[in-house]
Amino acid sequence: MDNGKLYWMNYSINIANGSKDNNLRVGAVLVTEDNKLVCSAYADECSGLSWYEILLSKIKKLNVNNAYYLFLTVNTLFSESEFDLNKLMEKIAIEEIYIGVPDPNLADYLSNDPIGTFRNIYRYPDNLQRMILQQNLNYYRNGKQNIKSSPYYSAKRISNIVMEKLQEKGIFISKEELQSNKQIEKLIQLIVEKYKFNIDDASKLVNLVMSEAFDEKYATYNYSDDARSLSVDWKNNFLMIYNKLLLSSLENKDILDVGVGSGNEAIALFSDCPNITFVDIAPNGLKKIKKQIPKSNIVVSRAEKLVTLINNSYDMYISLRTYNSSFFNVKQAISEAYRVLKKDGIIIISIANGFLCPENQYIIPGLIIPGTEFVDIYRGFDMIEKLSRELWNNSFEDIQFFPTKVELFLTAKAKKWCKI
């Protein structure tokens, strides 16, 4: 993200502070291609008017019918199913649009949502999304995007467990330090610098803590806490996607399943597969699988460092609901997936995209904004775009996207060339 765009994102957040305390604080800024301000607006800048109404009034006065950039802090609804941004796009042509967070009242995907309609929409970075949420905390606290509606996820955050496990071992890392170093390599380096550990000792410590933390959260995972308890088709969804790829029977494949958690999905899907290897950072789920599928191979390892696995050895690489895990390095994991797959081997990745509110039995769609207690309904699609880019950069082809109610799937083929 270049400094010019970040400047206008911050500008939009700052002007939103002009809104009255009892209103949703929204800032909007139109900018030219050469980075000059066209005009800006914020909610209630003129008493009782929305940011859209004020911005439209200014556009008319300036006789403007196009701008290069729009920076908008909140993708607001003006009714249950109508977006202000759609109305603006009818009046002015905009080359690139940057959006912070969804409207706090948005609880499901709508067909006319501009984020799903227009190809030129991008997102504010996480730290600025957190600032916008803080500006409008009361609105989001009372909205359906608050994961406090889902006690399992709000109470058992991996980052909190990691901090607790480190403290038990005499290592005190603040929430802010952890948030700024939310990749394993960065956390290792932080401990090296803060506690003067050598790199090997810090690596062993962090890997042990990660294993303990993921074991604590997922090894005894209860599916009554899972959005899939309201979506009983999850197994059929996977098999449908597999069959759409026109592949032969799973039983005939050399399969690598990475990130198995409690082992429930692995046992449900792959019990009849004789040539399968299961990988996870935590051992207890793997032990459970080994009891149920004795012929399987199990490997305790991170997805980013499959060092014991041989190049070009698997027909399929499967990783369900792992690539959006805390402390996960997508780039390294996809590079390793490519390395271990055979030529034309298939990768199937899924992203969890919903949280269960057990009390009212509804699904909160989206993914958690890091460092917050709020779900971003768009974040799963942002993640799919990021994964697609990494797959392409690592010589995967035939990339396909399959959305389902609580899970988003990506598939691709490993394109490899024979050495001459």
pLDDT tens profile 188-229:
999 999 999 999 999 999 999 999 998 888 776 666 666 666
C-alpha distances out from residue 319 to 312, 316, 337, 350, 396, Å: 17, 10, 10, 7, 16
C-alpha distances out from residue 121 to 19, 85, 98, 189, 293, Å: 25, 11, 6, 35, 46
In CATH, the number for domain 223-414 is 3.40.50.150
Backbone Cα Rg of the chain: 23
Angle at 79 between CA 73 and CA 81, to 5 degrees: 90
The more confidently predicted of residues 21 and 308 is 308
Q: Where are the domains of the chain?
A: 3-143, 152-218, 223-414
DSSP class of residue 74 equals: E
Q: What is the pLDDT of residue 234?
A: 78
> Would you call 184 helix, strand, or coil by DSSP?
helix
CA–CA distance, 244 with 14 (Å, rounded to integer): 48
DSSP class of residue 251 equals: G
- The total of other beta-carbon atoms located within 10 Å of residue 384's CB is 22
The residue-averaged pLDDT of 318-341 equals 94
Q: What is the pLDDT of residue 111?
A: 86
Helices (H), 35-125: 51-62, 84-89, 114-117
What CA dihedral angle connects 204, 210, 213 and 219, to 10 degrees? -110
Q: Which of 35-39, 64-68, 172-176, 364-368 has the lowest mean pLDDT?
A: 364-368
pLDDT in tens, 145-161: 887 766 666 567 888 89
Angle at 230 between CA 262 and CA 141, to 5 degrees: 90
Q: What is the pLDDT of residue 223?
A: 62
pLDDT in tens, 224-280: 666 666 666 778 888 899 888 877 788 889 999 999 988 888 888 899 999 999 999
Q: What is the pLDDT of residue 359?
A: 62
Q: What is the pLDDT of residue 318?
A: 96
Fold for domain 3-143?
A: Cytidine Deaminase; domain 2 (3.40.140)
Nearest CA to 246 out of 398, 407, 387 is that of 398
CA–CA distance, 113 with 106 (Å, rounded to integer): 10
Q: Which secondary structure element, helix H or strand E, spans residue 288, and what is its range? A: helix 283-292
Contact predicate 420/393, CB 8 Å = no
Contact predicate 326/159, CB 8 Å = yes
pLDDT in tens, 344-353: 999 999 998 8
